[in-house]
Amino acid sequence: MKRRFLFVLFSLLAGLVLPAVSAAEEGLKLWLKPIKKQYTFFEPVQIQFMIKNVSRQPVNLNNLSWPNGSRWLYALKIYDDQGNRIQPVGQYVFRKQPVAEEIVVVKPGEVFGHFLAVEEMYNRLTPGTYTIIGLYHNGKYNRDIDNQLWSGEIVSQPVKVEIEPLAAEDLDLYISHLRQGDPDFREQQLLAMQILAVQRESLAISFLRGIALQESNPNNTEAIRSLGMIGEEALPALSSLLANLDQNRWPEIIFALGLTRSVKAIPYLMPLLLVKQEENISAWALKALAKIKDQQAQDLIIQKVKDPRETIRQIAVETLGKSRDAKVITLLKDLLNNEFRANVRRQIAKALYLLTGEIHDYKDFQGKITAFNPEKDLTQDEKDGLNDYFARDRQVSEPEDSE
């Protein structure tokens, strides 16, 4: 009896002195070091990941130990100066299959560094100030102290990077590339469109409209997209394209109207939502409205959850689920009980999960009660986005000796 008491007492004391390790954060710390704080637009932006072993034992980083080799290891989350996350989460994987050379041993107190190039993971960032947070996600590693494999997500401190606009002489050069009519200049023309669009350069609008109207120019679709990226100032040009191009080109133009993210695009999109429009056109208009963060756009989407066209109802519900607007939760719960199409009911259950993290039941195609299954019914990108949404404020401080 006395031995049993001593054993229990020793076990309790050991539990206090040696707490169980349950996550990667217990042994590793991550921080970011940008090569510099200011970059010129379209200049490669490099970020260095620094992983420090803060435990008392060596740590083996097994860089690819997933069965399918598809999960990402190093990632960046980038936010603009208004706190909006730039999509998607940047991701980087060394190889699709692990090899012995990818096992990195990091001794106590040592640092493992790795560079990531922002442009490999994102479209070029527009001039402005950005906050960047690093992730080492689901990186499995083993601790020699217990020879067990641990996994977790380590979050870095935020760093700020500023992207400066193009110099005047560079801007003139790219504008001159848009003027070129020779087919030999098509590649230069395409690059110029992409650069000027990301910089939102209004001087390019008239040239882009002209290229969009050239049926024989393979860059005409990119010209329409570039007009949308320039923003509000390009709305008259996009409107004229709706009037002058065949209806089979309308989806490209509608998509570009959404890319402007301007409330002034709403009057151009509203007539395209009407029931008399082709279902495909209305669907594109709904998706374009979803890019405009304004209550008027949201109200139009809400109206479409009762549209007689099933596809339109489904897209409207999907859009509301991705809106992160808690005000639509009650509406969606009511719809779940009243919607008569199983496809739409399933989409409503998914939307509710994206908004609340809660699983809702719905009637399937046979009328049986079933439950929305996040593991089965969400893509990996949706799971990662949902994780970011519910845990957006996770940050850690930079190690004191990170310099």
**Per-residue pLDDT tens over the stretch 179-210:** 877 777 888 899 899 889 988 899 999 999 99
pLDDT at 140: 47
Mean pLDDT of all residues belonging to the chain: 79
* 138 CB neighbour count, 10 Å cutoff: 14
Please tell me whether residues 230 and 320 are part of one structural domain: no
Q: 58 pLDDT band (50/70/90 cuts)?
A: confident
pLDDT at 69: 40
pLDDT digit string, tens, across residues 162-181: 999 888 888 888 999 888 77
- Residue 139 pLDDT > 60: no
In the listed set 115, 131, 164, which residue is the last one of a domain according to the structure? 164
pLDDT digit string, tens, across residues 72-114: 567 788 888 888 777 655 554 443 344 555 567 788 899 888 7
In the listed set 260, 295, 324, which residue is the last one of a domain according to the structure? 260
Q: Give kind and range of the element (H or E) at residue 106.
A: strand 103-106
Please tell me whether residues 173 and 158 are part of one structural domain: no
- Residue 133 pLDDT > 50: yes
Residue 99 belongs to domain with CATH number: 2.60.40.2970
Strand-by-strand arrangement of the 148-150 sheet: 103-106, 59-62, 141-143, 148-150
- As a whole number of angstroms, the distance between CA 75 and CA 112 comes to 16
- As a whole number of angstroms, the distance between CA 117 and CA 368 comes to 50
Please tell me whether residues 76 and 186 are part of one structural domain: no
DSSP secondary structure code for residue 400 in this structure:
T
Residue 279: exposure state from Cβ atoms within 10 A (0-12, 13-18, ≥19): middle
Please tell me whether residues 38 and 131 are part of one structural domain: yes
Q: Is 99 left (phi over 0), alpha (psi -120 to 50) or beta?
A: beta
Radius of gyration of the chain from its Cα atoms, rounded to whole angstroms: 26
Please tell me whether residues 233 and 342 are part of one structural domain: no
User: Residue 22: phi, psi to the nearest 5?
Assistant: -130, -5
- As a whole number of angstroms, the distance between CA 217 and CA 240 comes to 18
pLDDT at 348: 94
In the listed set 204, 228, 260, which residue is the last one of a domain according to the structure? 260
Please confirm whether the linkage preceding 251 is cis (ω < 30° from 0): no
Q: Say how many domains are in the chain.
A: 3
Q: 146 pLDDT band (50/70/90 cuts)?
A: very low
Please tell me whether residues 248 and 317 are part of one structural domain: no
- As a whole number of angstroms, the distance between CA 137 and CA 54 comes to 18
pLDDT at 194: 87
Q: What is the pTM of this model?
A: 0.71
Q: 121 pLDDT band (50/70/90 cuts)?
A: low
- As a whole number of angstroms, the distance between CA 11 and CA 8 comes to 5
Q: Is 388 left (phi over 0), alpha (psi -120 to 50) or beta?
A: alpha
Residue 206: exposure state from Cβ atoms within 10 A (0-12, 13-18, ≥19): exposed
The answer to whether 288 and 258 are in contact (CB under 8 A) is yes
- Residue 304 pLDDT > 80: yes
pLDDT at 338: 87
pLDDT at 228: 96
- As a whole number of angstroms, the distance between CA 289 and CA 121 comes to 26
Q: 302 pLDDT band (50/70/90 cuts)?
A: very high
Within a domain: 272: no
- As a whole number of angstroms, the distance between CA 200 and CA 228 comes to 9
b/e 13-31 (16+ beta carbons within 10 angstroms → b): eeeeeeeeeeebbebbbbb
Please tell me whether residues 234 and 323 are part of one structural domain: no
User: Residue 8: phi, psi to the nearest 5?
Assistant: -60, -45
Please tell me whether residues 89 and 195 are part of one structural domain: no
Please tell me whether residues 39 and 94 are part of one structural domain: yes
The residue with greater pLDDT, 393 or 323, is 323
- As a whole number of angstroms, the distance between CA 329 and CA 338 comes to 15
Residue ranges making up the domain that contains 88: 22-164
The answer to whether 110 and 53 are in contact (CB under 8 A) is yes
In sequence order, which residues have a C-beta less than 8 Å from that of residue 363 and are 6 or more positions away?
342, 345, 369, 370
- Residue 399 pLDDT > 70: no
Please tell me whether residues 87 and 116 are part of one structural domain: yes
Nearest to 154 by CA among 403, 402, 398: 398
The answer to whether 285 and 247 are in contact (CB under 8 A) is no
Please tell me whether residues 294 and 200 are part of one structural domain: no
pLDDT at 297: 95
- Residue 27 pLDDT > 50: yes
The answer to whether 78 and 90 are in contact (CB under 8 A) is yes
Q: 117 pLDDT band (50/70/90 cuts)?
A: confident
